[in-house]
Amino acid sequence: MSDTRLGVDVGGTFTDLVALSEGRLVTAKVPSTPRDQSAGVMNAIETSEVEPGSVFALAHGMTVATNALLERRGARTALVTTEGFRDVLEIARQNRPSLYDLTMDRPPSLVPRELRFTVKERMGPRGEILALDESSLEEAVSAVEEAEVEAVAVCLLFAFAHPEHERRVGEALREALPGVHVSLSSEVLPEFREYERFSTTAADAYLSPRLATYLGNLSSKAEEVGTPGPLIMQSSGGVVRVEDAIADAAGCLLSGPAGGVVGAAYVGSLGGYENLLTFDMGGTSTDVAPIVDGEAQTTTETVVAGVPIKLPMVDVHTVSAGGGSIAWADAGGALRVGPHSAGAEPGPAAYGKGGEEPAVTDANLFLGYLANEAELGGEVTLRRELSEEALESLGEEVGLDALEVALGIVRVANAEMARALRVISVERGLDPREFALLAFGGAGGMHACSLAEELGIETVLIPRAGGVLSALGLAISDLRRDYVRPYLTGLAEVDEGEFEERFRDMENTAAEDLEGPEYTRRADLRYQGQSFELTVEAEALEKLEERFHAAHEQRYGYRMDDESVDLVNLRLIATVPVEKPELSEQPAEGEAKSGYREANFDGEWQEVPVFDRDEMGESSEVTGPAVVEFKESTCVVRPGWRGAIDGVGTLVLEKR
């Protein structure tokens, strides 16, 4: 009987799996396989011992698109645009990546100048100004063919409002180059602002061939073992079919982090916590995001690897501070952590796989937060003596002993992560003291109490499946598609009938793409003369203006009730909900304390109790200082904190 939902999340260091079947939750964690991420996915399925024939849905979050953009290993891509606009990608917004650093250049364009071609045509705000010149189109198609590219981005002026010329160019390219992927800006991002539209479409074309190869490979392997084809997590927090993911490659850039935010929102709401700051610390990086009133916040102002991507994405902020982040001494002799990571191969020094530089994991192991000879992912055994050697080696460079280096590494990493949490709270107009901190990822629980103290947060949540929460989020993610239509006009001039008709058009499109979807309407608004918009709920036209004023006040601290408001875009979110499991926790049976070990808090060694999370149950209590060992992660309870396991299996810690 096919009754199992799988979620598999590929991280930089580990690949996590969660299987849901009749309310039962099975987890697995195996090392990632960077050369071919699909191998790690299949290893996780094998390790979980889930019967492939019982699986009816396999949801997958991956870093293929992100890595291709970060490492600039996407497809050889051409750009076709309106004559005179060849250099929009190069000119960009003319802002500097670092205002006072004269040597700092912005990352190179995804499409070099020699691969950018033009056609004679011109659309204006009201329609055609200059007809598409067929001879220039033939020349452009011929030049693209000669350039031997793998993908083409087509971005014509005003195509977001009048796509006829752009569709004709796309048609000619697809006819002449049947094996080449073609992305049209009017399909990828039908919004105004040339640079962002060009940039997002170029990224979509650049990533699509790589994503198609990977997903085709994964689908074949899944078929071989008898599981269904994968559903792919989008950056906006919902899953789509493989063919839809390939057609919208730029929308999969934050595929992995989005799963964690979805899982955190679900687990938090089960325990009665609707306002959360999520803190996902893995082996390579840390992702943080806000959840307000039980809903993950999204944004369309994301820059990934120097490339603006103006698609709906979960509002995640990422910093390069993870368990594998390498500590080093800069030219001035100061201790630094990251951005380089030891990853899965060779990993931190403690892995014994050839890594010689100390990482955050080595510091946590030396300080007693992790157990010596603990096994990670079934294939890695931590060795404290190797961590100590690496810490001493770095200590010789900075004039510190191993303990001082370890404490310094943790402090530096915490400072970086606290800064990230401020970005998604204080800088969004949210007071972190009014939120609970939900920590997950393999390393999240070890740093959560320290970060909460730094930000004035009094409640920390550590879910039972915290080490694999991104995979849980994938397994429970709804099918989702996002739609946008430009509607540039003053809000006072909007005709209610036309407003309703435009939303209905999007809903009709969504009904063809999904089976029986539910709809959420939103709109982008701004004060007249402003350069950027805020997105608000748009269920009723008459409530839009007040919602915008309130949203503006929350974000910027003021509102201008007398100013005219412009409507910019209409947005539709279409979802098909999946059944969510009810999580429950059994009462404790017997003693959960598995022993004691030496751990260092603020420079002082103490013998602290160690609890086995598997032996704990509902109402089991813990008082800091203590260590709670989960199946896939570890929680460090600092002095001054105490808590208990609630009815859904979450360790709820409160500052005393």
pLDDT for 146-199, tens place per residue? 999 999 999 999 999 999 999 999 999 999 999 999 999 999 999 989 999 999
Q: Where are the domains of the chain?
A: 325-412, 481-576, 593-655
Confidence at residue 255, expressed as pLDDT on a 0 to 100 scale: 87
Q: Under a CB-based contact definition with an 8 Å cutoff, are residues 343 and 283 in contact?
A: yes
pLDDT for 203-244, tens place per residue? 999 999 999 999 999 999 998 988 888 999 999 999 999 999
Task: With a cut of 90, say whether residue 354 has pLDDT above it.
Answer: no
Confidence at residue 1, expressed as pLDDT on a 0 to 100 scale: 37
Q: Which helix (H) or strand (E) holds 472?
A: helix 469-475
pLDDT for 38-85, tens place per residue? 898 999 988 888 888 888 889 999 888 888 887 888 999 999 999 999
Phi first, then psi: give them for residue 234, nearest 5 degrees. -95, 165
Confidence at residue 134, expressed as pLDDT on a 0 to 100 scale: 96
Average pLDDT over residues 309-324: 88
pLDDT for 480-525, tens place per residue? 999 999 999 999 999 999 999 999 999 999 999 999 999 999 999 9
pLDDT for 413-461, tens place per residue? 999 999 999 999 999 889 999 999 999 988 899 999 999 999 999 999 9
Task: With a cut of 80, say whether residue 388 has pLDDT above it.
Answer: yes
| CA separation, residue 437 to residues 316, 323, 440 (Å) | 15, 19, 10
Confidence at residue 107, expressed as pLDDT on a 0 to 100 scale: 83
What is the value of pTM for the model shown?
0.87
Confidence at residue 268, expressed as pLDDT on a 0 to 100 scale: 94
The sheet that has 634-637: what strands, in order across it? 593-601, 604-612, 626-629, 634-637
The encoded tokens of residue 618 equal 């509902």
Q: Under a CB-based contact definition with an 8 Å cutoff, are residues 38 and 221 in contact?
A: yes
Confidence at residue 52, expressed as pLDDT on a 0 to 100 scale: 82
The strand pairing partners of 571, in sequence order, are 484, 522
Phi first, then psi: give them for residue 139, nearest 5 degrees. -65, -45
Q: Under a CB-based contact definition with an 8 Å cutoff, are residues 615 and 592 in contact?
A: yes
| CA separation, residue 153 to residues 158, 166, 193 (Å) | 15, 10, 16
Distance CA 644, CA 647 (A): 10
Distance CA 178, CA 170 (A): 11
Specify the amino acid at residue 539: E
Distance CA 383, CA 612 (A): 20
pLDDT for 555-605, tens place per residue? 899 999 999 999 999 999 999 998 887 888 888 877 777 789 999 999 999
Residue recorded with tokens 């602002």: 193
Confidence at residue 344, expressed as pLDDT on a 0 to 100 scale: 65
Distance CA 510, CA 570 (A): 14
pLDDT for 84-133, tens place per residue? 999 999 888 877 777 788 887 888 899 999 999 999 999 998 899 999 99
Task: With a cut of 70, say whether residue 650 has pLDDT above it.
Answer: yes
Residue 185 CA from chain centroid, whole number: 23
- Of the chain, the percentage scoring pLDDT greater than 70 comes to 99
The encoded tokens of residue 568 equal 């910019």
Task: With a cut of 80, say whether residue 528 has pLDDT above it.
Answer: yes
Average pLDDT over residues 280-306: 87
| CA separation, residue 556 to residues 247, 276, 548, 564 (Å) | 36, 21, 12, 17
| CA separation, residue 537 to residues 393, 525, 560 (Å) | 55, 11, 19
CA-wise closest residue to 436 among 416, 456, 454: 456
Confidence at residue 161, expressed as pLDDT on a 0 to 100 scale: 92
pLDDT for 529-547, tens place per residue? 998 899 999 998 999 999 9
DSSP for 155-213, written as a single string: E-TTTTT--HHHHHHHHHHHHH-TTSEEEEHHHH---S-HHHHHHHHHHHHHHHHHHHH
Confidence at residue 23, expressed as pLDDT on a 0 to 100 scale: 65
Specify the amino acid at residue 19: A
Distance CA 265, CA 277 (A): 10
Q: How many C-beta neighbours within 10 Å does residue 623 have? A: 15
Task: With a cut of 80, say whether residue 12 has pLDDT above it.
Answer: no
pLDDT for 58-69, tens place per residue? 999 988 888 888
